[in-house]
């Protein structure tokens, strides 16, 4: 990867050298872009390992195992006392998006069966 000098010129050079102009433009226009693996070189094996680490960390934080297909393996209780369940239809009771904490900082714990 080309070194970034901290200037807009250095960043522009890096974007051009990495052939990312299309994706940067899409990000600017739409606020979202997807850079395909053949462009970024971050293989699916690394993505799978990253998912494993996130699921392991979620279990360590809550005491509940997690699955991408099934969600949490136990009912989760959030500090406000609201329980959260996830259904296949996606209609589960989830924490309110109006709370003051971000999803990354929400604390929850597996409740006893």
Dihedral of alpha carbons 48, 54, 58, 61, sign: positive
- What lies within 8 Å, CB to CB, of 56 at 6+ separation is none
Asked if pLDDT for residue 8 goes beyond 70, the answer is yes
Output the DSSP codes for the chain. -PPP-SSHHHHHHHHHHTT-HHHHHHHHHHS-----HHHH---HHHHHHHHHHHHHHHHHHHS--EETTTEESS-EE-TTS-EE---TTS------TTSSS-GGG---EEPP-
Residue 77 has a pLDDT of 79
Owner of token pair 């998006």: 97
Asked if pLDDT for residue 3 goes beyond 70, the answer is no
Residue 99 has a pLDDT of 38
User: Which one, of 49, 44, 92, 101, lies nearest residue 70 by Cα?
Assistant: 92
Averaged over 57-62, what is the pLDDT?
A: 90
What is the rounded distance in angstroms from the CA atom of residue 70 to the CA atom of residue 13? 44
pTM exceeds 0.85 for this model: no
Q: Which residue has the higher pLDDT, 108 or 24?
A: 24
């Amino acid at each position: 990867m080309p070194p970034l000098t901290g200037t807009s010129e250095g960043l522009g050079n890096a974007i051009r050298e990495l052939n990312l102009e299309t994706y940067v433009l899409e990000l600017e226009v739409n606020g979202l872009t997807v850079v395909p693996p053949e462009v970024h070189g971050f293989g699916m094996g690394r993505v799978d390992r990253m998912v494993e680490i996130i699921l392991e960390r979620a279990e360590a934080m809550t005491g509940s195992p997690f699955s991408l297909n099934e969600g949490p393996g136990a009912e989760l209780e959030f500090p406000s006392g609201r329980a959260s369940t996830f259904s296949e239809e996606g209609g589960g009771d989830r924490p309110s998006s109006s709370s003051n904490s971000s999803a990354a900082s929400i604390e929850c714990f597996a409740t006893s069966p």
